[in-house]
């Protein structure tokens, strides 16, 4: 029978520490000698993110809401398909641990906010799961960790970064949109049983190392048997 790895996703809105926490968890698992691969979405370095880039810089509409949720979801989904086949499918099939900064779960929040009623959102969720996990054959996550950074704190982290980088994409430019996305993440976390980790209070984020301890604790049960390989 085909072996199957573990897929752990770190999710949150923009500038909530996903990259930081994915890196910290990756380093910790590596230092324990685990077979772990780190990926992130969108896969900006790959050609497969071309349509995502067009969407994020506003080629299809100046505001996120101008672009149909299903169309935008397809852009992000095919990027994952390419990444799975070219970068981490093999490691996953060999039983490795895959850590991902964002996944299908990002569409669930970012695109769902474009649909204005519960029925339309439920329909969208079923379509998305069918499209990515069944039709495209992407693995389902074993654990989704929602890094719940208060929007006021994310705003500050974003502002600091925009100052450094000098650019913001169509999601980042729209604060109201980002705040609604945070709500959508909180709702999705409840609906889909994601593990929520509180990452700050008001505009003040918790220390990255403290958040990392919580993320590690959340991941341990999923990593299961491998843990005993390391310690005993
Ligand atoms: N807990 C924290 N406290 C203070 N600063 C943080 C914390 N976590 C991350 N940062 C800083 O905030 C910025 C955003 O963090 P990071 O890139 O990890 O977030 P992200 O969720 O991956 O962002 P994006 O969604 O835009 O890719 C970075 O400059 C990072 O160093
Ligand atoms: Mg990031």
Give the pLDDT confidence of 5-57 residue by residue, as tens digits: 999 999 999 999 999 999 999 999 999 999 999 999 999 999 999 999 999 99
**Cβ neighbours, 10 Å, residue 214:** 18
**Cβ neighbours, 10 Å, residue 2:** 6
Query: Does 1 reside within a domain?
Result: no
Q: In angstroms, what is the span from residue 142 Cα to ligand 2's centroid?
A: 21
CATH assignment of the domain containing 132: 3.40.50.300
Query: Does 140 reside within a domain?
Result: yes
Q: Indicate which residue's Cα is closest to atom 14 of ligand 1.
A: 15
**Tally of structural domains, the chain:** 1
Give the pLDDT confidence of 101-130 residue by residue, as tens digits: 999 999 999 899 999 999 999 999 999 999
Ligand nearest to the CA of 182: 1
Is the model's pTM score more than 0.85? yes
Query: Does 230 reside within a domain?
Result: no
Q: Cα–Cα–Cα angle for 73, 212, 205, nearest 5°? A: 80
Query: Does 123 reside within a domain?
Result: yes
Residue-number span of the structural domain to which 97 is assigned: 6-225
Q: Which helix (H) or strand (E) holds 36?
A: strand 36-40
Please indicate whether residue 14, judged by its CB atom, sits closer than 6 Å to ligand 1. yes
Please indicate whether residue 150, judged by its CB atom, sits closer than 6 Å to ligand 1. no
Q: In angstroms, what is the span from residue 19 Cα to ligand 2's centroid?
A: 5
Beta-bridged to residue 196, according to DSSP, are 146
Please indicate whether residue 35, judged by its CB atom, sits closer than 6 Å to ligand 1. no
């Amino acid at each position: 029978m085909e072996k199957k790895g573990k897929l752990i996703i770190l999710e949150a809105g923009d500038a909530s520490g996903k990259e930081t926490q994915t890196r910290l968890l990756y380093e910790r698992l590596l230092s324990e000698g685990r077979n772990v691969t780190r990926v992130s979405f969108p896969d900006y370095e790959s050609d497969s993110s071309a349509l995502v880039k067009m969407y994020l810089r506003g080629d299809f509409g100046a505001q996120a809401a101008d672009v149909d949720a299903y169309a935008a979801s397809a852009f992000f989904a095919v990027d994952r398909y390419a990444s799975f086949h070219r970068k981490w499918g093999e490691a996953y099939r060999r039983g490795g641990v895959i850590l991902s900064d964002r996944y299908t779960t990002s569409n669930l929040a970012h695109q769902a906010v474009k649909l204005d009623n519960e029925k339309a959102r439920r329909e969208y969720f079923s379509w998305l799961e069918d499209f990515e996990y069944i039709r495209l054959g992407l693995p389902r996550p074993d654990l989704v960790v929602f890094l719940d950074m208060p929007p006021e704190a994310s705003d500050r982290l974003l502002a600091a970064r925009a100052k450094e980088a000098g650019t913001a994409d169509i999601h980042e430019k729209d604060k109201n949109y980002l705040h609604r996305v945070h709500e959508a993440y909180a709702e999705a976390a409840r609906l889909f049983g994601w593990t929520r980790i509180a990452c700050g209070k008001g505009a003040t984020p918790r220390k990255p190392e403290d958040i990392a301890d919580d993320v590690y604790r959340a991941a341990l049960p999923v990593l299961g048997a491998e843990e005993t390989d390391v310690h005993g």
